Amino acid sequence: MEHIDIKHVLEKAEYLGQTVTVCGWVRTSRESKTMAFAELNDGTSLTHIQIVIDRANLEYPATALRLGTALRVVGQVVEARQGSVEINATEIEVLGECPADYPLQKKRHTLEYLRTIPHLRVRANTFNAVFRVRSVMAGAIHNYFQSRNYTYVNTPLITGSDCEGAGEMFKVTTIGYSQDYKSEEEYYADDFFGRKAGLSVSGQLEGEVAAMAFGKIYTFGPSFRAENSNTPRHVAEFWHVEPEVAFADLFDIIGIAEDMIKTIIKEVMEKCPAELQFFDKHFEKGLLDKLNALVESNFEILDYTKAIELLKESGKEFVYPVEWGSDLQTEHERYITEEVFKKPVFVINYPKDIKSFYMKQNPDGKTVAATDLLVPGVGEIIGCSEREADLDKLLDAMRVRGMNEEDYTDYIELRKFGSVPHSGFGLGFERILMYVTGVSNIRDVILYPRTVGYVR
- Given the rule CB under 6 A, which residues bind ligand 4AD? 163-164, 202, 204, 225, 227, 234-235, 238, 240, 242, 380-384, 424-426, 428, 430-431
CB of 2 to ligand 4AD, least distance (A): 42
**Rounded distance between C-alpha atoms, residue 84 and residue 168, angstroms:** 52
Looking at the Cβ atoms of 278 and 350, the one nearer to ligand 4AD is 350
Looking at the Cβ atoms of 94 and 378, the one nearer to ligand 4AD is 378
CB of 384 to ligand 4AD, least distance (A): 6
Looking at the Cβ atoms of 148 and 450, the one nearer to ligand 4AD is 450
Looking at the Cβ atoms of 9 and 375, the one nearer to ligand 4AD is 375
Looking at the Cβ atoms of 65 and 442, the one nearer to ligand 4AD is 442
Q: Is the dihedral of CA 53, 56, 58, 63 positive or negative?
A: positive
CB 385 within 8 A of CB 359: yes
Q: How many alpha carbons fall within 13 Å on the CB side of residue 66?
A: 16
Looking at the Cβ atoms of 75 and 383, the one nearer to ligand 4AD is 383
Looking at the Cβ atoms of 63 and 230, the one nearer to ligand 4AD is 230
CB of 428 to ligand 4AD, least distance (A): 2
CB 202 within 8 A of CB 426: yes
CB 391 within 8 A of CB 397: no
Looking at the Cβ atoms of 164 and 444, the one nearer to ligand 4AD is 164
Helices of type H across 147-285:
184-190, 204-214, 250-271, 273-282
3-class state of residue 427 by DSSP: strand
Calculate ∠ Cα 225-381-324, nearest 5°. Answer: 90
DSSP, res 310: H
CB of 405 to ligand 4AD, least distance (A): 19
CB 262 within 8 A of CB 244: no
> Left (φ > 0), alpha (ψ -120 to 50) or beta: where does 255 sit?
alpha
CB of 311 to ligand 4AD, least distance (A): 20
CB 447 within 8 A of CB 430: no
Report which residue type is found at 369.
A
3-class state of residue 372 by DSSP: strand
**Rounded distance between C-alpha atoms, residue 10 and residue 49, angstroms:** 7
Looking at the Cβ atoms of 12 and 115, the one nearer to ligand 4AD is 115
**Rounded distance between C-alpha atoms, residue 7 and residue 43, angstroms:** 9
**Rounded distance between C-alpha atoms, residue 264 and residue 133, angstroms:** 11
The end-to-end CA distance of the chain, in Å, is 32
Closest-approach residue to ligand 4AD (CB): 383
CB of 447 to ligand 4AD, least distance (A): 14
CB of 315 to ligand 4AD, least distance (A): 29
Looking at the Cβ atoms of 120 and 226, the one nearer to ligand 4AD is 226
3-class state of residue 304 by DSSP: helix
CB of 398 to ligand 4AD, least distance (A): 15
CB of 401 to ligand 4AD, least distance (A): 15
Q: Is the dihedral of CA 203, 206, 208, 211 positive or negative?
A: negative
CB of 261 to ligand 4AD, least distance (A): 12
